[in-house]
Amino acid sequence: NAGVTQTPKFRILKIGQSMTLQCTQDMNHNYMYWYRQDPGMGLKLIYYSVGAGITDKGEVPNGYNVSRSTTEDFPLRLELAAPSQTSVYFCASSYQGAGVTLDNEKLFFGSGTQLSVL
């Protein structure tokens, strides 16, 4: 029962480099999210997706891109890495269906990716 899987766990980038953070879930969840957590801070929403082919911006989308070609995968792309993007990135998923139940509400998290841009 894998849940939400993120890769890589750690990465160091040079300024201006690009990379893709991978996220996949095996729970058939329709909603997927990308958050960033700066040191000692809460989580801020970067992008989210309500289903395959549909994505939208969150609070802090600048410098990032996403795509959702399948239900399972939701990669996050950094095009021109900047030191301000040094953070821990969490992918999460949830199932939003009929009725308000814990199963429909709970947010499941990946283990995070620690990214440093130097």
Partner 1 sequence: AQKITQTQPGMFVQEKEAVTLDCTYDTSDPSYGLFWYKQPSSGEMIFLIYQGSYDQQNATEGRYSLNFQKARKSANLVISASQLGDSAMYFCAMREGIFSGTYKYIFGTGTRLKVLA
Shortest distance in whole angstroms from residue 108 CB to partner 1: 8
Is residue 105 a contact residue for partner 1 (CB under 8 A)? yes
Shortest distance in whole angstroms from residue 90 CB to partner 1: 7
- Whether the CB-CB separation of 27 and 108 falls below 8 Å is answered with yes
Q: Which of residues 10-69 bind partner 1 (CB under 8 A)?
A: 31, 33, 35, 40-45, 48, 50, 56, 58
Extract long-range pairs of 79-83: CB within 8 Å, 24+ residues apart: 79/18, 80/16, 80/17, 80/18, 81/13, 81/14, 81/15, 81/16, 81/17, 81/18, 81/19, 81/117, 82/15, 82/117, 83/15, 83/117, 83/118
Q: Which stretch binds partner 1 (CB under 8 A): 21-29, 62-70, 79-87, 98-106?
A: 98-106
In the complex, the residues that contact partner 1 under the rule CB under 8 A are 31, 33, 35, 40-45, 48, 50, 56, 58, 88, 90, 92, 94, 96, 100, 102, 105-109, 111-112, 114
